[in-house]
Chain A
Amino acid sequence: MVSRIQLLLVGTLAALLQAPPARAADPKDLELEPLVVREPERRDVKVDEIDSEDFEIGAYGGVLDVDNFGSNAVYGVRAAYHITEDFFIEGVYGRSELGETSFEQLSGNVQLLSDDDRQFSYYNLGFAYNILPGESFIGRKYAFRGGLYILAGAGSSDFAGDQRFTITGGFGYRFAATDWLALRVDVRDYVFDSDLLGKTQTYNNLELTGGLTIFF
């Protein structure tokens, strides 16, 4: 019996001597094991993933009056980015055709321009300011957002085969049928210099267009 108890004691002592004392002194081991915490599922709001509607694209058509070359149909596309509720930038690209000058009409067969050079196109990029935002009413039940904006920009016009630096300015009205669909009416002036008819003169080209845009 004694020997068995002795054995047990010796064994325990041996075990104690072998392992723990050296480790217990090590401060690193006093640190806690990482706790396993059961977190409830996070319901973070990812603001970036909220559907944003800052871009506006669309097409338009209307009438462009090119100084000296008559009024002709014009059509084009536009893309805008709404930076704040007040400002947006907009790029447009449009195409039209030049008519005949009164000189050409009166003198019979004289043609100032080749058919190729009669193709008129322009692009420009501008800043616009929503000057009079508001609501419009149809009857008692329906209210629609919309408003007047003014715009100024610069770009280039392909006029009679040459690229002309062009300043543009104008105003327009946006009627928002829904949050994402709008009707637009725009009045713009495109101004450039050209020496096509002898001496350099400034051309004022007025344009009236209507179009549809979508926000996305």
Chain B
Amino acid sequence: MTGRKGMTAISIRTALVVAALLTSAPGFAKYQPEVVVSDPYVDLHTGPGRGYPIFYVAAQGDRITILKQQTDWYKVRTPRGKEGWVNVDQMTSTLDLDGQPIEFPTYGVNAFSQRRWTFGFGAGDFDGARILSADLSFAFTPNISADFVASQVLGDYSDGYMGTVSIVMTPWPEWRISPFFEIGTGMIQINPQTTIVQSRDETDEIAHAGVGADVYLSKRFIFRAQYKRHTVFTSRNSNEEIDEWSAGFSFFL
């Protein structure tokens, strides 16, 4: 009997530990600032989305604690201990404890033209083969950025990988449809399909010039369409010219 009791005690303790682990986020020391509601009220939703019901309102003058953020929503705790999610549109009207306005991130064409990090992926045509690309770009200024692209080429007779780095010039970053020009270089590796016995794997240097346009959609989304003309410096006598057409989506941080 005692043994069984001991077992129950242990399992209850384990359950408590598991419960504690589940309820506390796997975090470190948390930064949880307090802000003051300056609008007549802010709505607290039960979840981070516009459709989640409003179950409470924090009134003007209430000090609310910001616990965390998911997308455009901030989880807050009111002085009465209610926890709920407030949209960034309502958070922008809160003040810090000194009565100063707080800058919450909002997005628009201005943020689009001032963006620093952009991540995107796309697909397209690479001389008759399919190409899949993921790219990361960093803007030194609104006009000049560096773009790192990793691609996979999938053809009927061969497939391969390509990695390039380019310098991108954006003459009119403030335009909603913003053209850009780029030049870059990198490496390409081509492997013939196993069903067709052909030449061995080949790794070559590659350089390209390209033109395209970024279209700012909304929030943090960009649509990108572009054309690149690649020159492959093959080990054979002649270089190979390859046209790449692609389109994809990106978003910025």
User: What is the CA–CA distance of A163 and B155 in the complex, to the nearest angstrom?
Assistant: 9
Q: Could you give, for residues 123-138 of chain A, a 1 whenever the CB lies within 8 Å of some chain B CB and a 0 otherwise?
A: 0010100100111000
Output the nearest chain A residue to B220 by Cβ-Cβ distance: A83
Q: B104 near A165 (CB under 8 angstroms)?
A: no
Q: Which 3 A-B pairs have the closest CB atoms?
A: A165-B154, A165-B130, A163-B159
Q: B51 near A133 (CB under 8 angstroms)?
A: yes
Q: A50 near B134 (CB under 8 angstroms)?
A: no
Output the nearest chain B residue to A176 by Cβ-Cβ distance: B47
Q: Could you give, for residues 212-231 of chain B, a 1 whenever the CB lies within 8 Å of some chain A CB and a 0 otherwise?
A: 00000001110000000000
Q: B47 near A145 (CB under 8 angstroms)?
A: yes
A103 within 8 A of B: no
Instruction: Give the secondary structure class of B's interface.
Output: loop
Interface set, chain A 36-81, CB cutoff 8 A to B? 40, 42-47, 49-54
In the complex, chain B residues whose CB is within 8 Å of the CB of A31: none
In the complex, chain B residues whose CB is within 8 Å of the CB of A121: none
Contact of A51 among B23, B48, B67, B98 (CB under 8 A): B67
Contact of B25 among A154, A165, A180 (CB under 8 A): A180
Binding stretch for chain A, among B72-80, B110-118, B173-181: B72-80
In the complex, chain A residues whose CB is within 8 Å of the CB of B32: 50-51
User: What is the CA–CA distance of A87 and B46 in the complex, to the nearest angstrom?
Assistant: 19
Q: Could you give, for residues 171-211 of chain A, a 1 whenever the CB lies within 8 Å of some chain B CB and a 0 otherwise?
A: 00000011111000000000000011000000000000000
Question: What's the tally of chain B residues with a CB closer than 8 Å to chain A?
Answer: 51
B14 within 8 A of A: no
- A50-B25 in contact given A85-B48, A165-B132 (Cβ < 8 Å): no
Output the nearest chain A residue to B251 by Cβ-Cβ distance: A83
Chain B nearest Cβ from A82, distance in angstroms: 5
Q: B68 near A53 (CB under 8 angstroms)?
A: yes
Q: A125 near B69 (CB under 8 angstroms)?
A: no
In the complex, chain B residues whose CB is within 8 Å of the CB of A161: 194
User: What is the CA–CA distance of A156 and B251 in the complex, to the nearest angstrom?
Assistant: 22
Q: Could you give, for residues 18-54 of chain B, a 1 whenever the CB lies within 8 Å of some chain A CB and a 0 otherwise?
A: 0000110111001111010000000000111111100
- A133-B49 in contact given A83-B221, A161-B194 (Cβ < 8 Å): yes
Between A50, A52, A155, A164, the greatest number of chain B beta carbons within 10 A of the residue's beta carbon is seen for A50
User: What is the CA–CA distance of A40 and B99 in the complex, to the nearest angstrom?
Assistant: 13
Q: How many A-B residue pairs have CB under 8 A?
A: 120
Q: B221 near A135 (CB under 8 angstroms)?
A: no
B105 within 8 A of A: yes
Question: What's the tally of chain A residues with a CB closer than 8 Å to chain B?
Answer: 47
Q: A85 near B50 (CB under 8 angstroms)?
A: yes
B2 within 8 A of A: no
Q: A51 near B30 (CB under 8 angstroms)?
A: yes
Q: A162 near B96 (CB under 8 angstroms)?
A: no
A215 within 8 A of B: yes
Q: Could you give, for residues 121-136 of chain B, a 1 whenever the CB lies within 8 Å of some chain A CB and a 0 otherwise?
A: 1010000001010100
B8 within 8 A of A: no
User: What is the CA–CA distance of A95 and B104 in the complex, to the nearest angstrom?
Assistant: 41
- A164-B98 in contact given A83-B71, A84-B72 (Cβ < 8 Å): no
Q: B72 near A47 (CB under 8 angstroms)?
A: no
In the complex, chain B residues whose CB is within 8 Å of the CB of A53: 25, 68-70
Q: B123 near A154 (CB under 8 angstroms)?
A: yes
In the complex, chain B residues whose CB is within 8 Å of the CB of A145: 46-48, 52
Contact of B97 among A43, A54, A162, A214 (CB under 8 A): A43
User: What is the CA–CA distance of A194 and B23 in the complex, to the nearest angstrom?
Assistant: 48
Output the nearest chain A residue to B194 by Cβ-Cβ distance: A161
Q: B75 near A179 (CB under 8 angstroms)?
A: yes
